[in-house]
Structure 1
Amino acid sequence: MEGASVADFSWDIRSPLDRALVAGPYGAQGDAGLALTEIRDFDLVQVMARRGKARETVKAATARFGIAAPETPKAVAAADATLIWSGPDQFLVLSKGGRHALEMLAPVFAGSASLSDQSHARALISVSGDKARATLAKLSSIDLHADAFAVGAAAATSMDHTSITLWRGDDRNGQAVFNLLVFATFAESLWHTILDSAAEYGVTIGHSEDLA
């Protein structure tokens, strides 16, 4: 229609925590017991072996990354990617820089696995500090004690009725680091729930582009 205006749409990708994340201290004053960090700008690809192709999928992953894909609940680190178990005969490839993006992995797993790009469908949250376990214990039934959930352990579980993929990263400054992948539509709700659970310990809130 002549004279009609056309709305401008922006396709800029925004963090699902863009509104919720307010960098700085939160909760109890003094030394913070928890660091709550959103990790941004990553590539995440779901790899699901096709029926009868689990062995071929593992072999393809080994050839690509130099390590075997996890077949039990754990996360394994390659030189420039982390492979995270997400269920029977399936795993996630977490990386940065586009080298292991969907279009790069498609020919690697052609014929053996189905791939889906989850890069903008999930939020990645890092929880660390001396009160990390105490905070997450309020929200999850998983035993996160070091003897039960060692570095590299992973679980497809729920936290405060929200489905997540959880794994323990390398310790930082002698403290445990837990990584949570949550669907973007539930990220803001879970973020606030974690903050409420950690408020008594004091929280340092931030975001980073460095994978934990």
Structure 2
Amino acid sequence: MAEHPSFVADPVLRDRAESPLTGHYQPGDFGTLADNDPGVTLSERFGLTIVELAAWRGDEEKIRSAVASVMNLKLEGAPGSGAAGENGSAFNTAPGRWLVSGEKAELAAELAGQTGTAGTLTDLSHGRTVIRIDGPRSRWVLSKLFAIDFSERVWPVGHGVSTSHHDIHAAIQRSGADAFDIIVFRSFARSFWHVLCRSSEETGYRVT
């Protein structure tokens, strides 16, 4: 693997890092549960590697090929299109830009080695928090917070969008049948977590 001359890997050290939700993340069941069955499940995906890839004009295919090589994900060029798999996920956030995440600590360095001079890579791992909402009422809860159509016909698995909840920027990607990953700035994570929990009380929610 060729070494990128201008990138210094700084992976998240999971055993030393501290979640911004520390002291506010309480596992258990909350809200109004129907037959002890929560409408949604909330969890933090702590310690992920999160990077933004941006291609120089005309080099978009090279960036997509780099992601395919490292993560075995096939990306398209359409806005919002993306993919999710065992090695992580990625989706198009803007023309020539992709937000990529995965559990592998070396992910950023490996992507940097493959992209070469085709674009830029920015490691966002230390500045972002990923919260997952899953369950049969996940779309219902998300629709309270975002003016977006979350229906099946416009949100295939892997599809994502960059949006905001009031002043809190959020990147949302569908990661499963009823699962959505919400990526927010670390400094807003605690506030957004409380908003999401309150919004889930009506359906009942489980924190895992």
State the TM bucket, normalised to the shorter chain. Answer: 0.7 to 0.9
Question: In percent, how many aligned pairs have the same letter?
Answer: 26
CA contact (8 A) 2:29 2:204 kept: yes
Segments of 4+ moved more than 4 angstroms: none
- Say which of 181, 202, 205 aligns to 2:204: 202
Unaligned stretches of 5+ residues in structure 2: 1-14
Aligned counterparts of 2:39 and 2:156: Cα–Cα separation in 1: 20
Match of 1:85 in 2: 92
Q: Unpaired runs of 5+ in structure 1?
A: 1-10, 207-212
Matched, 1:107 2:124: no
Task: Give the CA deviation at 1:55.
Answer: 3.4
Report the structure, 1 or 2, having the larger strand content: 1
How far apart are the structure 1 equivalents of 2:29 and 2:69?
A: 44
2:65 corresponds in structure 1 to 59
1: CA distance, partners of 2:67 / 2:53: 10
Structure 1 CA distance for aligned equivalents of residues 86 and 197 of structure 2: 33
Task: Specify the alignment match of 1:8 in structure 2.
Answer: none
- Give the conservation status (yes or no) of the 8 Å contact 2:92–2:160: yes
Distance 2:159 2:117 in 1: 29
By how many angstroms is 1:52 displaced?
4.0
Query: Could you say what secondary structure the match of 2:126 adopts?
Result: coil
Aligned with 2:179: secondary structure? strand
CA RMSD of aligned residues (A): 2.0
Q: Which residue of 1 aligns with 2:18?
A: 14
Aligned residues: 191
What is the aligned counterpart of 1:31 among 31, 37, 40? Answer: 37
Query: Normalised by the size of structure 2, how large is the TM-score?
Result: 0.83
Q: Normalising by the residue count of structure 1, what TM-score does the alignment of the two structures yield?
A: 0.81
Query: Is the Cα–Cα contact under 8 Å of residues 172 and 183 in structure 2 kept in the other structure?
Result: yes
The Cα offsets for residues 110-165 of structure 1, whole Å up to 9 and x where unpaired, read as 11111111112111111111211111111101101112222222111113442111
Tell me how far 1:65 sits from its aligned partner: 3.7
Q: Residues 79, 99 of structure 1: CA spacing in aligned structure 2 closer, same or farther, 3 A cutoff?
A: farther
C-alpha distance in structure 1 between counterparts of 2:136 and 2:198, whole Å: 17
| In 1: Cα distance, 2:151 partner to 2:94 partner | 22
